[in-house]
Structures are given as structure tokens and as C-alpha cells.
């Protein structure tokens, strides 16, 4: 799954066979770091969550440094950007799926452009998701399974509107409305769960 998820990046960077093997090896190592550290901590009787998370972070930093030294800064920086823009790319992908069988599907270049716009204009949350109050109207969180989903501003939608024909922008706007609705529903459910939890003696 890691290889499938990063195949587009590997193709874009035109990695050689040897570079791909090393690149995917680093991805696997980083993916397995958390479970490896937790297993080692449990075997040694370590239970403090903050300490374990710090150890995970240290290992990830070491892997990142090794990747940078082995693959070179250009490939490493491209990987970091690809990782940080996952939610924006997911957003563009949803629009692409809606339009795939239309008379004017999104081109690869348009998907890239939308991804970059949404990434550049994202609105960072001021606090972790479980500590935030209702977001302001200008924000939209994407439920992508990413640990820290990004929030995107209306600025990104406006910039996308300037480069898309009406039917494509209509699809993009529809995706944004659906995601906002999901977010609001999730907040309502969380609020109800909190009420029930607080009411339990």
C-alpha cells in the first residue's frame, strides 16, 4: 500500500529502479517505527505515553535524516511536500472522480494545480481536533484519515474558481459542501457523545 500510495511521486521524480527500492525501504521503515518502538517499550515495561511518543519522534527524525543523505535533498524535500499535502491531494482527487465520466474531466495538470492551491491556502487549526471549538465559517476540515487533517479557506476555492470552467468548479464546490457537512455532523455527534459521557455518574 505504501508503494501504491507513493507511486505517483516516484514516477514524477523519475526514480531509477535502485532509487525506488531505497525510497520504498525508507517508507516501510518509517511506517513500522511506531509499532516497533511501542513493542520494545512494552517489553521493557515502559508505559509512559509521552516518553514513548518522544522515542517514536526521535526514530522518525533519524530515518528522515538517513533518507535525505541517501536520496538527496531534492527527492527528500519532494517527499515531505507530498506527505504534507495529502489532504489537499485527496480533495482534488474527489473532484477528479466526480468528473471522470463527464465531457470535461480534470487533467493531471489541473489536479496538481488544485492540490497546490488548496495546500498553499490551508488554514491551520489553532489546537488539536479534540480541543477545538466549532471552526470559523472560513474553514473546512477533510476527513482523510490523516492524523492532523488540514483546514482550507474560502481563498482556495476562489482561486480555483478563477482557473476552472463552470462545470468543473461546480463539482469542486459540491465536494467542499459535502465535506463541510460531514465535519458538522461529526461535531454534532461528538457533542452528543460528550453530553452522555458527562451525564454518567
Q: In whole angstroms, give the CA distance from residue 111 to residue 177.
A: 19
Report pLDDT digits (tens) over 153-178.
788 999 999 999 999 999 999 988 88
8 A C-beta contact, residue 91 and residue 113: no
The CA R_g of the chain, rounded to the nearest whole Å, is 20
Low-confidence ranges of the chain (pLDDT < 70): 123-152, 200-201
Model pLDDT, residue 144? 44
For 17, left (φ over 0), alpha (ψ -120 to 50), or beta?
alpha
Which among 27, 47, 28, 29 has a CA at the least distance from the CA of 38? Answer: 47
- Residue-range domain boundaries for the chain: 2-84, 86-199
Report pLDDT digits (tens) over 107-128.
999 999 999 999 888 765 544 4
C-alpha separations of 154 from 3, 121, 138, 195 in Å: 33, 8, 6, 32
Amino acid at each position: 500500500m505504501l508503494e501504491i500510495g507513493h507511486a505517483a511521486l516516484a514516477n514524477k521524480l523519475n526514480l531509477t529502479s535502485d532509487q525506488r527500492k531505497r525510497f520504498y525501504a525508507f517508507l516501510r521503515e518509517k511506517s513500522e517505527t511506531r509499532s516497533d518502538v511501542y513493542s520494545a517499550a512494552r517489553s521493557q515495561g515502559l508505559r509512559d505515553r509521552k516518553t514513548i511518543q518522544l522515542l517514536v519522534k526521535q526514530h522518525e527524525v533519524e530515518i528522515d535524516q538517513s533518507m535525505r543523505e541517501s536520496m538527496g535533498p531534492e527527492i527528500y524535500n519532494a517527499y515531505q511536500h507530498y506527505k504534507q499535502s495529502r489532504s489537499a491531494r485527496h480533495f482534488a482527487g474527489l473532484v477528479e472522480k466526480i468528473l471522470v465520466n463527464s465531457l470535461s474531466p480534470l487533467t493531471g495538470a489541473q489536479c496538481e494545480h488544485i492540490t497546490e492551491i488548496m495546500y498553499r491556502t490551508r488554514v491551520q487549526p489553532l489546537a488539536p481536533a479534540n480541543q477545538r471549538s466549532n471552526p470559523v465559517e472560513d474553514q473546512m476540515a477533510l476527513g482523510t484519515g490523516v492524523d492532523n487533517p488540514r483546514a482550507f479557506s474560502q481563498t482556495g476555492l476562489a482561486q480555483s474558481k478563477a482557473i476552472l470552467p463552470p462545470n468543473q468548479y461546480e463539482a469542486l464546490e459540491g465536494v467542499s459542501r459535502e465535506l463541510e457537512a460531514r465535519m458538522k455532523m461529526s461535531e454534532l455527534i461528538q457533542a452528543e457523545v460528550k453530553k452522555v459521557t458527562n451525564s454518567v455518574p
